[in-house]
Amino acid sequence: MVAWTSFKALYLSRLREFYRQPARIFWVYGFPMIMAVSLGLAFQNRLPDPTQVDLVANDASKPVEAALKAYESRAASAKKPGLVLKISPLETALTRLKTGKTPLVVEPLAAGPSYHFDPTRPEAIAAKKAIDDILQEDAGRVNPLKTAEVEITEPGSRYIDFLIPGLIGLNALGGGMWGIGFLIVNFRIGKLLKCFMATPMPRRNFLLAIMASRLTFLAPDLAVLLGLGVFGFGMPIRGSLLLVIVLDVVGSLAFAGIGLLIAARANSTEAVTGLMNMVMLPMWLLSGVFFSSERFPAAIQPVVRALPLTQLISALRMVILEGAGVAAVLPALGILAAWAVVAFGIALRIFKWT
């Protein structure tokens, strides 16, 4: 009865406050979409870049030039990456190499071509290898072993497929920080929290209403990003949609707990913004939103893996892109639940209500 009336009223009040602010709707739903679309287009899978090479113009350069040109026309007809060939005097070519404008300079000599390159640059090594193969084969090399190439261009392995789960995780993080942490501190600054506490409304209802509204906003949040991935980019959802939702909810609860924790005592916008940055920045950087977190050195991997966002995003990727089941994401669910429980526990213990 009265206990739930106040919960319902608080919950509806939160919803109203949200949908009446178009700017907020844009930042929560519009911005991630724009980010997904623009990053998705920018990193669309295309042909690999053509190999860049500088050829020194001298007496012996004619046959080399002919071999490279011949390769280019073959590559063009086979729709394979070709060459960006620049022919210049030795001086100019070496200067271009030193200043990083070209990864490889081929200097044809009487004895055979000589390669100038920086062996610490991966693209220089790749260019040298590619050009050497072209010239060797042109000179009559026959590969003793016959090899076949199988190329993968299926949906699910593209950057956009990787990005969408990352953005879903990022939104869950942002929701916890802004929708719980920042909100509560603003209530405290505006004395609204105190005003609520002076009424017989149970504190529990206040917290539950904020949590419930947070989880409500999650639905369009998830729908927008998944919809964009599936209908806009043909991203597959290989695992269970229900499991995706469960992960997003548990992840959001973890971030809600952290949001409540940073709001526990802060009583100025500056303080809460600082705390939010302290929480969000490491996760933006380390949790593999935009690129795989496995690229970080092994030494910091335990830290990276302990972060709730890392767990949420990698579990989402496993379910969406690899079709993983409950058992596979159970450790991630466990870590997220632990974050939620510990953060809520501490937050409620130290929370300053008045």
Partner 1 sequence: MTDRAIRVQNLRKQYPGRDKPVDAVNGLDLDVAVGECFGLLGPNGAGKTTTVEILEGLNEPTSGEVEVLGRNWRQHATEIRERIGVTLQETRFPEKQTVLEVLSLFRSFYRHGLEPAEVIARVSLDAKANSYVEQLSGGQQQRLAVAVSLVGDPELLFLDEPTTGLDPQSRRQLWDVIRDLHNRGRTTVLTTHYMDEAERLCDRVAIVDHGKVIALGSPAELIARLGGEHIVEFAVGGDAPALDAAVFGAIPSVLDARAEADGYALTVGEPHLAIPALLDLLEVENRPLARLTTRQVSLEDVFVALTGRHLREADESNGAAREKPKRGRRGRAGAGRG
- Chain residues binding partner 1 by CB under 8 A are 2, 5-6, 8-10, 13, 16-17, 20-21, 189-192, 194-201, 354
Q: How many CB atoms lie under 10 A from the CB of residue 98?
A: 12
Q: Using the minimum distance from each CB to partner 1, give the nearer residue, 6 or 252.
A: 6
- Closest distance between partner 1 and the C-beta of residue 310, in Å? 35
Angle of CA points 129, 133, 138, to nearest 5°: 155
Give the tokens for residue 238: 């290989």
Q: Using the minimum distance from each CB to partner 1, give the nearer residue, 20 or 295.
A: 20
Cβ atoms 340, 311 nearer than 8 A: no
SS3 per residue for 216-261: HHHHHHHHHHHHHHHHHHCCCCCCCHHHHHHHHHHHHHHHHHHHHH
- Closest distance between partner 1 and the C-beta of residue 200, in Å? 4
- Closest distance between partner 1 and the C-beta of residue 9, in Å? 4
Q: Tell me the C-alpha distance between 250 and 309, whole Å.
A: 11
Q: How many CB atoms lie under 10 A from the CB of residue 297?
A: 7
- Closest distance between partner 1 and the C-beta of residue 210, in Å? 12
SS3 per residue for 30-98: HHHHHHHHHHHHHCCCCCCCCEEEEEECCCCHHHHHHHHHHHHHHHHHCCCCCEEEEEECHHHHHHHHH
Q: Using the minimum distance from each CB to partner 1, give the nearer residue, 3 or 306.
A: 3
Pick from 222, 256, 259, 245: which is nearest to 329 by CA?
245
Q: Using the minimum distance from each CB to partner 1, give the nearer residue, 16 or 141.
A: 16
Q: Using the minimum distance from each CB to partner 1, give the nearer residue, 15 or 94.
A: 15
Q: Using the minimum distance from each CB to partner 1, give the nearer residue, 90 or 189.
A: 189
